[in-house]
Amino acid sequence: MKDQFIVSGGARLQGTVKVDGAKNSVLKLMAAALLAEGTTTLTNCPKILDVPLMRKVLEGLGCSVEIDGHTVQITTPATLHSNADFDAVRQFRASVCVLGPLTARCGHAKVALPGGDAIGSRPLDMHQSGLEKMGASTRIEHGAVVAEADQLHGANIKLDFPSVGATENILTAAVLADGETQLHNAAREPEIVDLCTMLKEMGADISGEGTSTITIRGVDKLQPTEHEVIGDRIVAGTWAYAAVMTRGDITVGGIAPKHLHLPLEKLKSAGADIEDYVNGFRVRMDRRPTAVDYQTLPYPGFPTDLQPIAIGLSAVAEGTSIITENVFESRFRFVDEMLRLGADAQVDGHHVVIRGQERLSSTHVWSSDIRAGAGLVLSALCADETTTVHDVFHIDRGYPNFVENLQALGATIERTQEEELY
């Protein structure tokens, strides 16, 4: 039976919340453990559904994986299996990040084309092209991407778009390649920097991370390490926007404020009072927010993962907002659910125009992806009565203890099981 959330509107959220490690980092770090024989330990890992899903993928490749609270230990054997099977991979997109490490370690990788959120097409063209420039042959065969290489070599690679996934797979392949690889138009996200930090702790020779050009000089061998996962900037941003939407006062810990510079600046423009700390920030709002325009772009631009949350804020802001989606073409599916909540929104191509209202109207809504689900819950807190949010397993994939944290901040929300309909 599926879980659902019952959310009562009208709460003012206030208090303190600490974010765990980043979902968009921990899964890639787990995959990077494939590069070194022995036991790699990751700390500050989030308790989300995708972590045990990645454990299943790694165990299918021959690893032993133990999860103890916020710590994940991955023991990688000398000889790996190179086939990431369909059943394990199809459930979430991040599983494709084993492609680079397997190609580098085994000279062969077969990774089922992954599933995940319904937010638009995310082809593997740039992943394959990067590996091919390093000497691999690749193909799509029977629903899987296959890469083969006797020995990868350094290459000069330029991405058509600063894809996070392609940057990660090229990085994790290049660290064991013969010679130097220069990756141009690379993704600059903090999660990329976190991956490079761990790879360097393992003995990789990398420079330029955090910029658009990353240089990787291949080494013969890497060793396991212990690494602390960086805080989740998307979860932290969700709590920041929740404070403004509910005219509340929330202190968020466990995150570097610089990783959310632009989203927090947008909240300041909406009228919020924000204080930065060494490892967190405080967001206070005592009036209705002012409408602000957004356009999603690769980091350091406004993150596409916060776009549904920004739509939720715009729906209750004073004035009209225009939100432009430049990364994933299907992310505006979320707007259909906001219309159920009474939002005044109109989609025009990759733009949505939202005229804010004082309060939304409660109803039944359905999550289509992780961030859409979180956006619907926060929007339900701004509705007049009680809203039921369905398909909340999406939210569990990205937000640890979501209900418990909301309850601690003063929200009236409960998790229940949906009744089966026949």
Annotated binding site for phosphoenolpyruvate: 23-24
Residue 91 three-state SS: coil
Is residue 262 within 8 A of residue 302, CB to CB? The reply is: yes
Q: What is the CA radius of gyration of the chain?
A: 21
Please, which residues bridge with residue 71 across strands?
A: 68
- Residue 193: name the closest of 256, 264, 286 by CA: 256
- Cβ atoms of 317 and 290 within 8 Å: the answer is yes
Catalytic residues: 117
Which of 125, 176, 126 has the alpha carbon at shortest distance from 154? Answer: 176
Binding region: 23-24, 93, 305, 327
- Cα–Cα distances in angstroms (integers) from residue 386 to residues 382, 389, 412, in the given order: 10, 10, 9
C-alpha dist (Å) from residue 167 to 4, 173, 182, 295, 346 = 36, 10, 11, 22, 34
Whether 81 contacts 110, CB under 8 Å: no
Token couple for 331: 């992310």
Q: Of the candidates 110, 29, 115, 112, which has an alpha carbon nearest to the alpha carbon of residue 76?
A: 29
Q: Which residues are annotated as a binding site for UDP-N-acetyl-alpha-D-glucosamine?
A: 93, 305, 327
Burial of 253 (0-12, 13-18, 19+ CB in 10 A): middle
Q: How far apart are CA 209 and CA 89, in angstroms?
A: 28
Q: How far is CA 286 from CA 13, 104, 254, 385, in A?
A: 11, 54, 25, 21
